[in-house]
Every structure is written in C-alpha cells, then in structure tokens.
Structure 1
C-alpha cells in the first residue's frame, strides 16, 4: 500500500526516527514517516505494533500467574513446616523441641538464635531425648546461648553417650582425656573412644590408638572388656563417673 504525504501529496516517503518526545500513543501504535520532497513529518497507524504489545502483555500475565501458582504450592507448606514444631514443642513434644532447637541453632526457616536453640534443647533433654541431651551438653560446653558450664556439659554429654550416641561417646572421651568438667582419666577416655570408633567415628579411632602407649596392659585389657560388654548390652550399664556433682543449672 503506497503512502502519500498529507501535506504535498508526494509519494516519496521514508521512515523517520522515533524520539522520546513523540508520545506514548505514537510510540506504541504508529510508524513515524517523513516526506522526501517537503520534509513534512507525520504518522501512520502500524497494526503490527498493537499485536506485538498484546502478545507481550499476555506473556507477562502468564509468567506472573505461573509464579503465583508456584508460590501457592510451596509457601503454605513451608510455613506450616516452620510453625508446626513451635506448636508441638510448646505442647511438650520432645522431638519437636529438638527439631526447633536445631532450626534456631542453624537459622533454618527462622532467625538464628543460640539462646532460643539452647532453651528448646534443654526442655527436650530433660524429657530424655538423647540427641537433645547431646546438643544441650555442647551448648553448655561452648557457652552458646547459655553460661558456659563444663561440669554440667559433662553430665549431659555423658547421658547421651551412655545411650549409645556415637558423637557423644567421642566427645565424652575428649572430656576424660583433657579433664574438662571432670578429672583426667585416660583409661575411661580410651573406653569411650573405643565405643565411638566401633560405630564408625573415624576421629575416635585415631584418638583411641593415640592413647594405647599411655596405658598399662592391664588398663587396656580392662577397658576393652568393658567396651565389649557395653556393646553387647541393649542398655549400657551405669559407668562410675568421675564428674563432680552438677551445678543447679543442669537438672537431670
């Protein structure tokens, strides 16, 4: 279709440039033209532009709707997953208390807060939750979210170790080895390293082997036999502890 200049009637028309001051309507719907003979500048409707604009809007709406559906599928379940442990933990569920403590300790779904984490670990530990006893003991040992207390830390880590918790057994060996929260007791350290090593804790195996030359043959034999008895017993027998009495801050 030929284009004609509305000013002089010439058909010598060329496409002109768009400018920011041309206005939104012209930019979105028209094509700028200029007459080669009289230099008159004018506009003509371009049907392609509205079509492309509609397609772009439709694509944007579709993408927005897709993201909204994705968020509606993910966000509610995520929120429920974060809030439910609070409800169950507040109701006294020891496993939920442990889970909530771990979340606060790691900043998983909540703002990281050592004090809040230790509070929930303590509640679960006092209900006999083995993992919580270990984590509460670590918090006391390192002073995370609670006043540092080596003797109380020893007490709680020992509880978890006696129930067969491998990491607690290794850490209890370390406490005996260096006299943290208890008197130094290398044979007892060897015993707990041996038990942890039997459950796959590599560091415990190395620590155990490093103590061999520091013990008498009789001590080695006694601790190996005791470790054997404990590993064959579903519930570990009570082992005399050299730890000092716990402070009031650590309740059994």
Structure 2
C-alpha cells in the first residue's frame, strides 16, 4: 500500500528514527515515517509490532527459564552491532561521509535529531566543495537551523552550487533574488535562476519563472534566456569534450 504524506500529499516516504519523547504506546504499536519532500514526520499503525513484542517477551521468558534451570550464570556472547554511521570517515575528513552524517542528524535517521550537529558536518563538507553540502549549509544559514541565521552568508553558499549547475540551489537562489534575501531584489536574475532550475525539471522553478514574466520587459527576458543558454552550454562543455 502506497503511503502519502498527510501534510503535503507526496508519496516520497521513508522510515524515520524513534525519538526518546515519542512515548511507549507509539513505540509499541506504530511506525514513524518521514516525507522526503517536506520532511514532515508522522505515524502509521504497524500490525507486526504487537506480534514482534509478544515474540520478544516469549524469547525473554525462555532465556530466563533456561538460566534458572541450569543454575549457573553462563555469559551470553556479545552481539556485535555494526556501526552504520559514517562517523569515522567523517572525522577523517571524508566530505561525502560528512554530508551523510549531516543529513542523518538533520532528519534524526539512526541518531537523535540535532540541527547543530547537522550544520557542523554540512559546513565541513561544504568547505571541501561538495555541492549538496553547500546547498544544505546554505539552507541551514537561511533558516537559522543549528547556526545563527545569516542571509548574506546563506546567499554566498547557495550561489556556489547554483553556478555549478545544482538545480535545487538554482531554485533557492532565484527565491533569494526574487525577495531580496541576502542580496538586492533583482527579478531579472531571479528569472534567470528559475529558468536554469526549470530546465532541469524543477516544477516549482518553472511556475516561479512564469509568474515573473509580466514583471519584466521583453528585452530583460531575452537577455536572461540568452545568459541561461550560455551558462548551460559552458557547464556541458567539459563533459562533451573528447578524451
């Protein structure tokens, strides 16, 4: 059965981590999910959980009984739990691991959700030039998540991946130009970045671009369209060059 987000209606749903404050009833009977689009966290009833709980209680009783009957404190073998979090690689400077760790702290995926930790790892990976990390760190600065809100710094970090062709950053940069956040209002530049993001399939960017058409002169639109074509051509040129 396809799950949809009750907040935005998206079907891009993933499992979410349990939090200490979720409560025993939810932990025992429900499963946490998170929307990939709006990051809304919600719960669905999990019919398997009561069965697993009963099975676990039965297993515990069986083990306890076995120890009592044998009348000796035999030590159970230690269970090795693999460390699935990329802490070691991140601490050693691996930018991709730093990004993944930041995303996990931002979403509470396998760890307690912590915006400050998320921003710290995003910043480390961003300084190594990772486009997604620069985008995430820019958003953290823009929204004040785990860091002091700083519009100008947010603009600077979002501009870096946008210029390299990162579609989500291009859309965000268009919004900053559109409303004058961290920079002066420039509807023509907003149109440019929306146009670039829309060309990569960002639907919201296409709608935002079209909403600006009536606010610009024809020559401004033509100039921005030409600049967008030139930027796209320059970005594609290295990939198209022969070996």
Q: What range is the shorter-chain TM-score in?
A: 0.5 to 0.7
**Whole-angstrom CA distance in 2 between matches of 1:163 and 1:64:** 60
TM-score by length of 1: 0.62
**Whole-angstrom CA distance in 2 between matches of 1:163 and 1:134:** 11
Matched, 1:81 2:122: no
Q: How does 1:142-221 map to 2 (within 5 A)?
A: 142-221=143-222
| Cα pair distance change 1:147/1:64, threshold 3 Å | farther
| Cα pair distance change 1:177/1:87, threshold 3 Å | same
Counterpart of 1:234 in 2: which secondary structure?
helix
The number of residues matched between the two structures is 165
How far off its partner does 1:225 sit? 0.4
How far off its partner does 1:235 sit? 6.7
Structure 1 residue runs without a partner (length 5+) = 1-59, 66-74, 237-252
- Partner residue in 1 for 2:142: 141
How far off its partner does 1:127 sit? 0.5
Displaced runs of 4+ in structure 1, greater than 4 A? none
Counterpart of 2:235 in 1: which secondary structure?
coil
**Whole-angstrom CA distance in 1 between matches of 2:202 and 2:141:** 22
Q: CA-to-partner distance for each residue in 1:66-123, whole Å, 9 max, x for gaps?
A: xxxxxxxxx856x4212xx100000000000000000000000111000000000000
Equivalent residues of 1:163, 1:235 under 8 A apart = no
How far off its partner does 1:177 sit? 0.3
Structure 2 residue runs without a partner (length 5+) = 1-57, 64-78, 238-243
| Cα pair distance change 1:149/1:235, threshold 3 Å | farther
**Whole-angstrom CA distance in 2 between matches of 1:226 and 1:148:** 31
How far off its partner does 1:163 sit? 1.2
TM-score by length of 2: 0.64
**Whole-angstrom CA distance in 2 between matches of 1:119 and 1:80:** 21
Q: Which has the larger radius of gyration?
A: 1
